[in-house]
Structure 1
């Protein structure tokens, strides 16, 4: 491989994996377990909302226990459990099973909007997330190449949320709670994995060849015009 593709620590910049930076596929896999449990219980019970909600919460609780045993923070599992409980309360209040998916629909719409705005204000959320995980924090914002790369890759995440919003809205409008349950499961793990792969390709493809990579943001060089004293000496005119 081209030596310019590697940084000082021997890590390849083009062969870097966004999935690895984000902690692998475990988060996406764990996020898909409660929706699958909901779908299985929904189908097995003939559309009994209370049964499906119970199994979904039980699956979330199991993930919390596993995370604690492995000495990991169970934040994602706890958030999933809370979201399931709130969604259930909404459905019970309205008396309409399809409204169980309203929270999912609205949260994806809000996420799409938040990611799009973050790009427009030059704070792409993918950069914020990756920078926090790898320890570069917000230094990437001073690097025009990384800022541009993170912005381009963040549009893939916007598209991910938009796909969910379109599908969920159509099925909610058609009053298809069974298909909502199916698509909620289908658009969790597979879509997240596809999003990470696509945005990772866009991110690293947008980084110029020879750049040391996301782990080593580069501040732009100061122009010589701003530092006249740094300009090379020119020979004096002969007398």
Structure 2
């Protein structure tokens, strides 16, 4: 009888973390998402609103083409392009550069509300999404320890979205467009990294609990059958 080597479990855990990161856009997605924002702010500062709008759209289009050519995940590329499209449309309609950030501000509020609601109805979204994407089922919901871990991960995302909304909405109301752009970028990478770290911890916790529960589910009948098979007369 052999037992899996610790290295195998470690490799599987690392693979799951990479899959999770890819499903959430990947490191390249985080980098790409900042380029249109920087281009927009710089173009607006030097050339005005309309050139900034077209520059941001152009940057988003180039990024989309690059991701397609490199055969990266298509969905984040398309989502990013449409996100920039909506942002520049709002900026054009409002006639103000700060309108570029309005969509993201209210999106953060909506996301935060949805994540919070999922905790209140005892279906934390981090657990639901992770299990659905990886075909793990929803049995973790009957385990208080696993559910609390996913609750904490989900509430971390709630805190991230709430912080983005509060800070950026205040900067928007104060007409601090430059600081608004800085806040959008600064509150992207660091806060996402914190939420991702808590998510990885929650996944590990829930996975370990699932293995413990599966091992403990062996019934008396299973034990008896196993012992009979072990000590049965081979003749």
Asked if the contact 2:126/2:199 (under 8 Å) is kept, the reply is no
Residue 16 of structure 1 deviates from its aligned partner by 8.1
Residue 6 of structure 1 deviates from its aligned partner by 5.6
The aligned residue for residue 208 of structure 2 is: 212
CA distance in 2, matches of 1:116, 1:57: 33
List aligned pairs for 1:35-114, cutoff 5 A.
Answer: 35-45=37-47, 48-114=48-114
CA distance in 2, matches of 1:32, 1:217: 42
Runs of 4+ residues over 4 Å off in structure 1:
3-7, 12-20, 216-222
Secondary structure of 2:208's aligned partner = coil
CA distance in 2, matches of 1:109, 1:5: 45
Q: TM-score, normalised by structure 1?
A: 0.73
Larger CA deviation: 57-66 vs 158-167: 57-66
- The CA deviation string for residues 192-224 of structure 1, in whole angstroms up to 9 with x for no partner, is 2233124434x268x28xx6367x6946967x9
Number of residues of Structure 1 aligned to a counterpart in Structure 2: 219
Larger CA deviation: 133-142 vs 52-61: 133-142
Residue 65 of structure 1 deviates from its aligned partner by 1.7
Larger CA deviation: 99-108 vs 138-147: 138-147
Asked if the contact 2:64/2:81 (under 8 Å) is kept, the reply is no
Q: 1:12 to 1:19 in 2, by over 3 A?
A: closer
The aligned residue for residue 123 of structure 1 is: 123
Q: 1:204 to 1:94 in 2, by over 3 A?
A: closer
Residue 64 of structure 1 deviates from its aligned partner by 1.8
Q: 1:52 to 1:139 in 2, by over 3 A?
A: farther
Secondary structure of 1:123's aligned partner = coil
Q: 1:217 to 1:109 in 2, by over 3 A?
A: farther
Residue 42 of structure 1 deviates from its aligned partner by 3.1
CA distance in 1, matches of 2:81, 2:97: 18
Asked if the contact 1:13/1:212 (under 8 Å) is kept, the reply is no
CA distance in 1, matches of 2:82, 2:196: 25
* Structure 1: tracts of 5 or more residues without a match: 233-239
Q: 1:147 to 1:133 in 2, by over 3 A?
A: same
- The CA deviation string for residues 144-186 of structure 1, in whole angstroms up to 9 with x for no partner, is 3322211111111111111110111111111122221222222
